[in-house]
Structure formats: structure tokens, C-alpha cells
Chain A
Amino acid sequence: MRSPERSSALAVLVAITLLFPGCASTLAPGGWLPDAEQSTREANGGWIVAKVGLSGSSREVCGELIAIQHDSVFVLAKAGLEAIPAEHIRAARIASFNSHWGELGAWWILGTLSTASHGIVLILSAPVWILGGTLSAVAASYAPIVRYPDRSWSELSIFARFPPGLPLGLDRSALRWQGAP
């Protein structure tokens, strides 16, 4: 026996299953990235996740993007500042702020559940919510993320702590890992 409410619930379940793999995670430690407004008042770099390696072997380097210059990408990881040759990086993604797309997800789930009050019309309104909510959450999740090789390293340098490049005479050992657990 089917009912509109049961169909609605099923649609929510299917949409939840489909939505989350479709959304992009920043992969930054929880609380590390500022939200959009806060990011305009801070001067840290974005969070970079880079796949590094030539030929078969590869490793993943995560941390704050410090600078990009002289064909090197400087990442402040938990172990310290690492200079990675740009040509060794196969792919990278940088998140500059936390989009809080999960709140859109909550909004979307509540909205979809609310179609239970639409009677038979939920046959129409529930798919609208599911489609609109999914597309919105996916779009919001990708908003703070930029990728290499989609963009060049010179374009990505603006998301570094030092967009012009490493300052002259910088004591690299003075850069400390910030805040991540």
C-alpha cells in the first residue's frame, strides 16, 4: 500500500542518499575555515589538499596554502612548511571559506517534509523541493572551492596567505601550524 506521505518519505531518503555524495567537502579540519564574511577580515590562506607524485606513487598533502612562487607551492602542514614543486602536483583543491551548505541541506529536508501538508499536490511539490534543494546544496558546496588544473597556479595564488609570494628574508621555521587538531 502506497501513500503520498510514504512516497514523500521515500523521495527524501533517495534524495539524501543522492545529495551527499554529490556535494563537495572542503576536507579542512572542523572549524578551521572561516565563514564567508569572516574570511574578508582575516589574512590566512585557504586550505589546500594536493595530490603529489610522479609516475605511479603519490601522496596527499593538506594544510594552509602559504604562497605560490618560482614554480613551488608552499603548504603549511602539521609537520611544518613544505615546498612542493608545482610540476609534481597532479591535482589540488583549495577551499577559501566554509559555505555552510549543510544548513541548506537542513532547509531542503524541512521543505521536502513540509510537502506532506500539500495533500495530493506533493506529487508535484516534493520533486520540486528535492530537485531544487539538491542543486542548491551542490552549488553552495562548490562555491568556496577552486581547483588545479582547472585554474593555473598564478590564478590560485590569490588564495594564499602571501599572495605576492614568500616575503624576502622570511624565517620559514617561524611559521607555526594554526589551530587544527
Chain B
Amino acid sequence: MLLPTTWCVARVIESSPMGRCLLVLLAVLACASSGCIKNVTRHVLPPGQAESLDRESPFLKVHVLDGRAYVLSAWSVDTTARMVRGRGDLFGLDREPLLSGDFGVPLDSVALFETNVTRTHGSVMALSIITAGSLVLTLYCAANPKACFGSCPTFYVSDGTRDILQAEGFSGSVAPSLEATDLDALPRARARGRELRIVMRDEALETQIVRRADLLAAPRAHGGRVFATAAGEFFQADRVRGLVWATGPEGSCREALASVDDIERSSPADSTDLGARETIELRFERSGAGRLGVVIAARQSLMSTYLFYQALAWMGRSAGEWFAALERGDAAIRTQARAADGLIGGIEVEVLDASGAWVPAGQYAELGPIATDEQLIRLPQGGADPAQVRLHLTRGAWRINQVALAELGAKVDPVRIPPQRVLHGDADAPVALAALLGAGDPLTTVPGDAYTLVYGLPGEAEEYELFLESRGYYLEWMRREWLTEEDPGQLARLFLDPRGSLRRMAPAFKRQEATMESAFWGSRYAQP
């Protein structure tokens, strides 16, 4: 009985602004009333130690020899007159008040002094701190709901010491008709012997449908690497060369782009146009005339997620109709969805050829703001020496961790490894395993779900470069805060005039940009 009642109360509070106001009011009242939750420190002293009485005690209890007791405020000890003075009450043996007023009690008649000091209980302080943090979170989520979210399935793999977030699956697949296959490199994954475990979590307000999550093990030479292209081709790399020189609008960014570490290169979005572009120029050493490729390790900023959520907010109550139209195969809607998807675009790569002309080589287009992914863009043969590369990208849309030049070897075919076991908690989950093996309906997860996928490697782990290939889609849950922003006009303008919409949305995004990333990660327990 209590469970549904509590659940209903939580729903009411969560669902209405009035409920939240009431909650805040009640919290304040609770805090105020808890002012009387105090602790008392009591000390007694014989009359001979009257000078040592605790002066912090607002009242002095004077137990006299005949059993009566004075309770005095504004009390003082007159050592010369051997008297304690104060204003208060005299209580009889039955503790009924006998007299009130100013008293002077000779020390010779005193059996014991008692002092009591009250202090706010430490538990009130502890709950006050929790309340403050909780209210900040409540207010932040109410004011800035587009920064309190997760994104698509997240995959945690051990780096040899602890499980770290290494991949996010099919970030762009926000509807059944947009179901897609996503390939993520797992360069930091470390197997235990020939077994690799990947924890797949649903950490967002989404229903996620996972059809497949296979491990791909690409054979590599000793000390070499294997990189994957966006098209799903795998190439061995005998050698990976670092940057000699890198510069963007902010100046040198070589240090940020030199290696995969905690330092990412990013830039603020344009304050008047979210579609504004920028260029980064790179130079690498090269040796020989072999085939080369640029390896980019990056993730999206929260700009694309913000735009998607803003579009959902503008859809408001009609979001279901929009997605239903998408599922029915409405060509116009699909075209609009694809156009919206390309608003931000990828990281376009150009290379300087031997004749001095810039030649397009491809683009990095891995979606998702959570996990850094590595992708290979093969360069045309016959480039300049030293190799010179340009990246064109939307300002504020990308966080680039590393750019390197790979000297490519043979194309290889990876070994596909489906999960051998799936664990839900510590127990085997045969239904989930069957779902991921294609033997039943796909695996459906809701927020809070976590499955451990167990894979067996075909050989020693060092002999393989590992990748995760996941397939599925997810359904974003509408937030009540978004419904207040329902605006068919803005939505129509987004589809009909995407470039103009990026300009109109810039001020609102810029107001949140500085805190969006920290709020996003601060509201989660995962780290990139």
C-alpha cells in the first residue's frame, strides 16, 4: 500500500511545477523546524570550582543543599562575596516554581552547579548540506533540462585496472526506422586471458533496443595497430606518426592533439551562428611513398544533442506524430530528418597533393558526445612531403583528442565474436543472450539496466585490435519541461531553413554552453 502511495506522491511532485514549489516549501519548513533538533552538553561542578563554570551556558542550575534548585539566566559568580547572582526561578522539591526574580545564592548553600550548552545536532548539518546540493540539482534540472541527460547505450570495458567508458552505440538511431550499425574502436580494452567483458548500460531516459553487440577482433602485427574507416574497412598500420605542427584559430593546438589523453581540443561555438566553421591545419613527418591515413580520435560536444533535444521540445505533444510519420516512411519527413542530422556535419579532412592543391579525403562522422572514438580517413596517394592536412569543422561541435598519421599496411578482415554469455547482475541472462544472438526479439533496456557481455577471444589478446559493433535504436523519453517549449513554427523553420535556425538558436545555446559539459558529466557517474 505504501509503495504505490509513495510512488504517486513522487509522480505528483515530479510532474507539476506546483508540486515542485510545494516540495521546496516543505523542504524549507522541514529545515526550519529542524532548528530545534539540538544536542545538549551537560556539566556539573561543586561550588568550590564556581570560577570554572561554562560561561556559554545561558542558564545556570544551582542545586542547593536542601534539594531545591535555582535556574538563573544572566548569571555571574561573585567570588569576593562568595555568591552566585542571576535572574530566574526557584523550584521546590517537587519542581514546582516557588519564586521568580533576582537571586543571590551563597556558595555555602550550594550542593552542585549544573551548566547546559545546546548546539545544533551534527545530523542537521549533514542533511542541510545534502539538501543544498539536492536543491541546486533540482533547480538546475528545472532551468536547464537539456543538460541533464545521457545518450544511447554506453559500453564500459576494463583498461586493465578498472572499467572505463570506451564506447557508445548507435547515437543517431533515434527511431526504429533509423536503426543502424555502429562501429567503435576499443584501443584501451584489456582482456583477462582470452576473455573480454563489456558492461552495457542504459544510463539515459531512453528505451534502448539492442539487436546486436558483437566484438570484432582484427589481427595485427606485433607492435602495430589496426584502424577502421567509417565504411567498416580495417587496415593494419605499421607505424603511427605524431604531429609536427598544428594550428587552429586559437593558435597552436599541437599539445592537445598529440596523444589520446585527458586533454581535448575544443572551441567555443560562434555566438551568432551555430553553423559557423573553422579550420585546423596540421603537418606530419612521413617516410616513403606508402599509403597513408589520418587517424582522428574525437567525440562530439553537446551541441548536436542540444539541437536534437531542442527539436523534440519544439515538437512537444506532437513528437509522437512526427516519429510515427517517420516510421510510416513519409519521404518528406525522412528528408527533413536527414537534413537536420547534417546540420552540424562531421570533421572534413583535406590533404595537400604534390601539385599544391587541397584534395578532399573524407570525413570523421562518428556521432555521440560521451565516448571518444578512433576513425581512419585514408588519404589519396601522392601527397606532399611533409604531409599537410586540413580539418574543417563546425565551431564548438567537436572535442578532438588526437590526430595522427598512420602508415597503412594490408587490409584485414576481423573475426566476428558474438557474446558467449550475458549476465544481468551476477546471474546468466539466457533470454538477453538469445536476443543479442538474433534468436529472438532484440534486447530492450530501460534506464538503470546493465548487462555484462562476455566474449572469448580467438587467440592471445595482444594479437588483435578490438572493436565493438553494435546495432539497434533507442526511443528518447519526452521530458515534461520540454512540453512548455512546444512551437510548431520554430520546428517548421528548423526544417525549412536549417541554416537560419542555427543562427537563431545561437544565443540560447551560448547562454548554456559554458556550463553544459560540466553539468552533463557532473550529473553522471561515468567519465569519458
Contact = CB atoms under 8 A, between A and B. Distances in A.
Please indicate whether A and B come from the same complex rather than being unrelated chains: yes
Interface of A: 1-10, 12-13, 16, 35-37, 39-44, 96-97, 99-101, 103-104, 106-108, 110-111, 113-121, 123-125, 128-129, 132-133, 135-137, 139-140, 143-144, 158-159, 161-164, 166-168, 170, 174-176, 178
B116 A39 contact: yes
Given A5-B10, A13-B3, A121-B523, A36 B40 contact: yes
A174 B96 CA distance: 12
Main secondary structure of the interface of A (DSSP, over half): helix
A12 B23 CA distance: 16
Interface string B60-81: 0101011101010000000000
B239 interface: no
Contacts of B13: 113-114, 116-117
Given A5-B7, A111-B131, A120-B205, A36 B39 contact: yes
Contact of B138 (A117, A163, A178): A117
6 closest Cβ pairs, A-B complex: A167-B67, A136-B123, A107-B30, A116-B14, A9-B7, A164-B111
A35 B446 contact: no
Given A120-B148, A120-B447, A178-B95, A107 B2 contact: no
B44 A111 contact: no
A119 B11 contact: no
B38 A36 contact: yes
A116 B10 CA distance: 6
Interface residues on B, range: 35 or more
B63 A174 contact: no
Nearest to A157: B44
A121 B140 CA distance: 12
B429 to A, nearest CB: 15
A149 B57 CA distance: 28
Contacts of A139: 121-123
Main secondary structure of the interface of B (DSSP, over half): mixed
A133 B122 CA distance: 12
A111 B71 contact: no
A30 B311 CA distance: 58
A35 to B, nearest CB: 6
Contacts of A44: 95
B59 A7 contact: no
B6 to A, nearest CB: 4
Contacts of B141: 117-119, 121
A162 B40 contact: no
A161 B69 CA distance: 9
A2 B449 CA distance: 9
B263 interface: no
Given A132-B126, A163-B63, A117 B446 contact: no
A5 B40 CA distance: 39
Contact of B71 (A42, A125, A175): A42
A40 B7 contact: no
Contacts of B23: 110, 113-114, 117
28 contacts: A4-B205, A9-B10, A35-B36, A36-B38, A37-B36, A43-B95, A101-B37, A103-B33, A104-B123, A107-B34, A107-B127, A110-B23, A110-B27, A114-B134, A116-B10, A116-B14, A117-B13, A118-B137, A119-B479, A119-B523, A120-B150, A120-B523, A121-B523, A125-B133, A140-B124, A143-B39, A174-B93, A176-B94
Contact of B149 (A8, A107, A120, A168): A120
Contact of B121 (A42, A129, A140): A140
B17 to A, nearest CB: 10
Contacts of A107: 27, 30-31, 34, 127, 131
Contacts of B114: 158, 163
A174 B114 CA distance: 24
Given A116-B14, A139-B121, A128 B130 contact: yes
